[in-house]
Structure 1
Amino acid sequence: MPKPLSARTECFTDSVIRRMTRVSMQYGAVNLSQGFPDFDPPQAIMDRLAEVAHEGPHQYAITWGAPNFRQALAAKQRRCMGLDIDPERNIVVTCGSTEAMMCAMMTVANPGDKVVVFSPFYENYGADAILSGAEPIYVPLVPPSFTFDPEVLEDAFRQHPKALILCNPSNPCGRVFTRAELETIAALAEKYDVYVITDEVYEHIVYAPHQHTYFAALPGMAQRTLSCSSLSKTYSITGWRLGYIIAPEEIIDRAKKVHDFLTVGAAAPLMEAVIPALNFGQDYYDGLLEKYTHKRDLFLKGLDDLKIAHTTPEGAYYVLLDIGEYGYESDLEFCEALAREVGVGAVPGSSFFREDVNHLIRLHFAKNDETLYDALNRLEGIRRLKK
Structure 2
Amino acid sequence: MQRTRPPFRADHVGSLLRPQKIEDARAKLASGAITADDLRKIEDVEIEKLVHKQSAYGLKLATDGGFRDSGPLDFIGGLAGCELDADGRSVRVIGKLDFPDDHPLPTQFKVLQRHAEIAHVTPKLTIPSPSVLHFRGGRDAISQEAYPSIGLFFEDLAKTYRKAVKALYDEGCRYLQFDDPVWAHLCSEAERQTLRERGTDAANLQQVYARIINYAIAERPSDMVITSHVGRGNFRYSWLASGGYEPVAETLLAGINCDGYVLEFDCDRAGGFESLRFLPKGNKVVVLGLIGSKSGALESKPELVRRLQEAAKFVPLEQLALAPQSGFAAAAEGHSLTEDEQWTKLRLAVEVANEVWGR
- The TM-score normalised by the length of structure 1 is 0.27
Structure of higher RCO (CA pairs closer than 8 Å, 6+ residues apart): 1
Computing the radius of gyration from Cα coordinates, the structure with the larger value is: 1
TM-score normalised per structure 2: 0.29
